[in-house]
Structure 1
Amino acid sequence: MTSGPQDPRQGGSGQEPPYGQQPPYGQQPPYGQQPPYGQPPQGQQYGQPQYGQPPQYGQQPGYGYPAAPQGGGWGGPPPAPTARPSTVKLGIYAFLANTLLGLLGSIVTFADFNSLVDDAARQAGVSPDSVRAGVTVGAVIGLLFLAAYLLVLWYAWQGRNWARIVLWVLGGLSVLSGLVGLGNGNGFLALLGVLQLLLCIAGIVLLALKPSNEWYRAEGQRRNRY
């Protein structure tokens, strides 16, 4: 004999678990039945949104991107520059001393400005006013060049490699001109020329030594990271 229809709550096919009890692992609840209150569905962790469902308020989606570095990297303050080696300090000082000696030589040369203008006008066959105007324009250009040169020295002191290259170029030109005009002028101006030549050569060599190269390379890498 066949028995009557079985009660689905007492077992058999399509049996529903008692209220508050979760079905066995891997088995989905019958169609239309929700899991017990406060329990997530099978295979889903608590607090993780289902596929296609937007995350809850204040909850980040479970993507696999790494978090941004905190401090010491992007967005963080750059580290302090490394200590300058003695080769960099002495090289910059040599170029600065060469500049100061050049100013001293200019002061000595133009000490008797009127006599210098008269002699130049007599040799060129022009009026002293024309010579005076030309000297004034030349002095203004020289001051602008001096300001630019001091700015390059400051950037080289801060570890800018391009400024060091500019100093090499200008220093090389100064050495060539110094060798050509070596011995010209009176005793004091000739002595100043020799000192300037030696200081310029020393500055070029000191900024080209290995400690200087390593420091400028390290400063460039530090700036590129930040």
Structure 2
Amino acid sequence: MTTPPQYPSYSGGNYPGGNYQGGPQGPGPKPSAPGTVTAAFALYVLAALVSLVGVFLVFTDAGTRQIRDALRDTNTGNMSLDDLVRVTRTITVAVVVVFLALYLFFAFMMRAGRNWARIVLTVLSALSIASSFAGSVAATRSWATWVTLVFSILAIVLMYLAQSNQYFADSKAYRKGAVYR
């Protein structure tokens, strides 16, 4: 009968998963989101809700008039202006619902400490801010657009404050350490 091989004990050696002293150590406590990240998350959720309310404004009489005015000079081919308004509404709702679902997904990932989600939210917010000042969109701005803009700008600022930066760095270190354990 053979005896099992004896493996050396690693006391005090540094290895990719951390410092092994007589066996694997736990990853330590998971970093908790600071108030700045929590506030940015709340602002993104509120911005999504305001945008959802805003998209339903296209179904009001004022929204219909704005769409009609924006599309009046469009070459519609064989489509009537009423059909074009209906298609525009449908596409608007579909795009907004998909966009908001992704937006909320990224907000949840950002709150979980994923830096890539913070970057994606920053880019999406910047694009949204820039597009709201573009030609035809600027003509149809509503209160919902302004509220969403303010929330997005505040959320971007909050995500890059010192506490937030430390949280994202700590979350990354926690995940890296947890991979090897």
* TM-score greater than 0.5 by the shorter chain: yes
Partner of 2:156 in structure 1? 204
Deviation at 1:122, TM superposition (A): 5.0
| Higher-Rg member (1/2) | 1
Q: Which residue of the other structure, out of 70, 89, 101, is the alignment partner of 1:147?
A: 101
In the alignment, the residues of structure 2 paired with residue 151 and residue 162 of structure 1 have an alpha-carbon distance, to the nearest angstrom, of: 12
In the alignment, the residues of structure 2 paired with residue 167 and residue 176 of structure 1 have an alpha-carbon distance, to the nearest angstrom, of: 14
Judged with a 3 Å threshold, the aligned counterparts in structure 2 of structure 1 residues 192 and 144 are, in CA distance, closer, same or farther, namely closer
Q: Which residue of the other structure, out of 123, 130, 146, is the alignment partner of 1:194?
A: 146
The number of equivalent residue pairs is 163
Moved over 4 A (4+): 113-118, 120-123, 179-186
In the alignment, the residues of structure 2 paired with residue 224 and residue 160 of structure 1 have an alpha-carbon distance, to the nearest angstrom, of: 12
Q: Percent identity?
A: 28
TM-score (norm 2): 0.72
In the alignment, the residues of structure 2 paired with residue 88 and residue 109 of structure 1 have an alpha-carbon distance, to the nearest angstrom, of: 32
2:19 paired with 1:66: no
SS at match of 2:45: helix
1:127-163 deviations in whole A, cap 9, x for unaligned? Answer: 2334423432342232122211111111111110000
1:56-81 deviations in whole A, cap 9, x for unaligned? Answer: 644544x65638753425xxxx4442
Structure 2 residue runs of 5 or longer lacking an equivalent are 12-19
Structure 1 residue runs of 5 or longer lacking an equivalent are 1-55
Judged with a 3 Å threshold, the aligned counterparts in structure 2 of structure 1 residues 66 and 141 are, in CA distance, closer, same or farther, namely same
In the alignment, the residues of structure 2 paired with residue 224 and residue 179 of structure 1 have an alpha-carbon distance, to the nearest angstrom, of: 41
Deviation at 1:224, TM superposition (A): 0.8
Deviation at 1:195, TM superposition (A): 2.3
2:39 paired with 1:90: yes
What is the identity, as a one-letter code, of the residue corresponding to 1:105? G
Partner of 1:216 in structure 2? 168
Alpha carbon RMSD of aligned pairs, Å? Answer: 3.3
Deviation at 1:112, TM superposition (A): 3.6
- After TM superposition, the structure 1 = structure 2 runs for residues 9-158 of structure 1, keeping only pairs within 5 Å, are 57-58=2-3, 60-61=5-6, 64=8, 66=10, 70-73=23-26, 78-112=27-61, 115-116=64-65, 119=68, 122-124=72-74, 125=76, 126-127=79-80, 128-158=82-112
Partner of 1:7 in structure 2? none
In the alignment, the residues of structure 1 paired with residue 91 and residue 134 of structure 2 have an alpha-carbon distance, to the nearest angstrom, of: 25
